[in-house]
Amino acid sequence: MAALFLLLLSAPLFHCGSVSGPLKLEPLMLEEQLLWVNGQDFVSSYRIPLLTFTPKGSLLAFAEGRKMSRSDYGSKFIAMRRSTDKGATWSPMSFIADDDRSEQDGLNLGSVVVDMDVRRVILIYTMCFHLHGCSTSSTMMVESKDDGLSWGSPKNLSAQIGVKNFAPGPGTGIQKRHDPNKGRLVVCGHGTIEGDGVFCILSDDHGKTWSNGAALKSIPYNQKKRQQDFSPDECQPVEMPDGSIIVNVRNQNNYHCRCRVVARSRDGGMTLPIEDVFFDYELVDPVVAAGALQKEGVMYFINPSNEYKRVNLTLRWSLTDGNSWENNTVQIWAGPSGYSCMTSLDNSVIEDKKYIYIIYEKGHKDSDEAISFVKIHLFGGR
């Protein structure tokens, strides 16, 4: 028993080919539950789900509560639920921030990033992103020092990084675990519709100060777009085992393909060189925010896998750092499905090596009817 335990600790957990190891990578949907449903608590709709692990091994789920309408504009609050038992049960909803606006453009989520060095959870969101009835866009941050139980008051980062229109994520930011720039916080997002592109902000002091990093700008930049222009948009960064950062990006105007744009930074998020940008034809996409995750040498990707419609939420995985994808996939939901986000718990506990966790927008008629949580067993439930 002890020997098996040691073997499990030291050996990679997945095996492909004919040599069958102790556990074969065979993702299986184990549990699903709805965390928010439209109309619940008199809120018009819940959208833009984020999911993260915490330093203590809890899970935190976030969503925009759109008070009056389903629109991207308008008044909203940030809703959160917390699970301390790996997603089995969830706390009642708590409120992290409320924009208290009635007519004007309110807040929008967002990117959540965990700093393991100082054991804090940081949430970055935007105010007045669409400049709808307000004239200045701001990047805001709230943080929790107690594993998501309580949150400080929102801090305005615009004095440090400027008042540009920056919509973080939606998804997770990363803390670099490898060189270069080990320990750095990297949060990527996108710009306005005309001034679109992928932009990253960086912090080397655990979120105290932030600066502007990489910019992969749309073409033509700051000008009206047409179909098939290059317009990289909502994005999810992932750190690879070699310390580079892969950013998986929404291809807003279907430039070159109806599939995902992939960019890469080898300097800790300072640049996203055009030479490293490619189009992943296997990851067909209806223009949406998607999720990506790196765990134990396997890269996972989730999106509504359809060229035209937000349906068919599908989990894929790659044993080659995203250079190719396995032929097997897991369909999470055949019907309408929209934005999604993934996380996993710390790898130092055997039990935590077995699962990844997904949150996504789910519906029967439209994709934005509810926010659903899914627990995936990576090794066929064994």
234 as an active site residue: the answer is yes
127 contacts ligand NAG (rule: CB under 6 A): yes
- Tell whether residue 181 is a contact of ligand NAG (CB under 6 A): no
Determine the interface stretch with ligand NAG among 29-37, 145-153, 291-299, 304-312 (rule: CB under 6 A). Answer: 304-312
Does 303 contact ligand NAG by CB under 6 A?
no
> Does residue 136 bind ligand NAG (CB under 6 A)?
yes
Q: How far is the CB of 257 from ligand NAG (least distance, A)?
A: 14
41 annotated active-site? no
| Catalytically annotated residue among 280, 361, 368, 369 | 361
Per the structure block, which two tokens stand in for 127? Answer: 């105010």
Residues in Cβ contact with 365 at an 8 Å cutoff, skipping those fewer than 6 apart: 336
For strands 120-127 and 138-144, give the pairing. Answer: antiparallel
Output 223 or 324, the one with its CB closest to ligand NAG. 324
| 252 interacts with ligand NAG by CB under 6 A | no
Whole-angstrom distance, CA of residue 20 vs CA of residue 26: 12
Whether 369 sits among the annotated catalytic residues: the reply is no
Q: Is 329 in the site for ligand NAG (CB under 6 A)?
A: yes
CA distance 181 to 122: 19
Q: How far apart are CA 380 and CA 382, in angstroms?
A: 6
Distances in Å between the Cα of 356 and the Cα atoms of 85, 109, 198, 248, 249 are 14, 22, 26, 18, 21
Task: Compare residues 6 and 16 and give the one whose CB is closer to ligand NAG.
Answer: 16
| Among positions 45, 144, 218, 314, the unique one binding ligand NAG when judged by CB under 6 A | 314
Stretch that binds ligand NAG, among 47-55, 90-98, 241-249, 305-313 (CB under 6 A): 305-313
Q: How far is the CB of 245 from ligand NAG (least distance, A)?
A: 25
Residues sharing a CB contact under 8 Å with residue 104, sequence separation 6 or more, in sequence order = 128, 132, 133, 134
Among 58, 108, 138, 337, binds ligand NAG (CB under 6 A): 138
Site membership for ligand NAG, residue 254 (CB under 6 A)? no
- Cα separations (Å) of 316 from 251, 268, 362? 19, 26, 18
38 binds ligand NAG (CB under 6 A): no
79 touching ligand NAG, by CB under 6 A: no
How far apart are the C-alpha atoms of 51 and 62, rounded to whole Å? 6
Sole binder of ligand NAG in the list 312, 318, 337, 372 (CB under 6 A): 312
159 binds ligand NAG, rule: CB under 6 A: yes
Task: Tell me the C-alpha distance between 289 and 168, whole Å.
Answer: 11
Q: Which residues contact 83 (CB under 8 A, 6 or more apart)?
A: 58, 59, 60, 61, 89, 90, 91
* CA separation for the pair 180, 314 (Å, rounded): 32
- Please say if 26 is a catalytic residue: no
List of residues contacting ligand NAG (CB under 6 A): 127, 136, 138, 156, 158-159, 163, 305-306, 312, 314, 326-327, 329
Q: Which residues are catalytic?
A: 72, 234, 339, 361
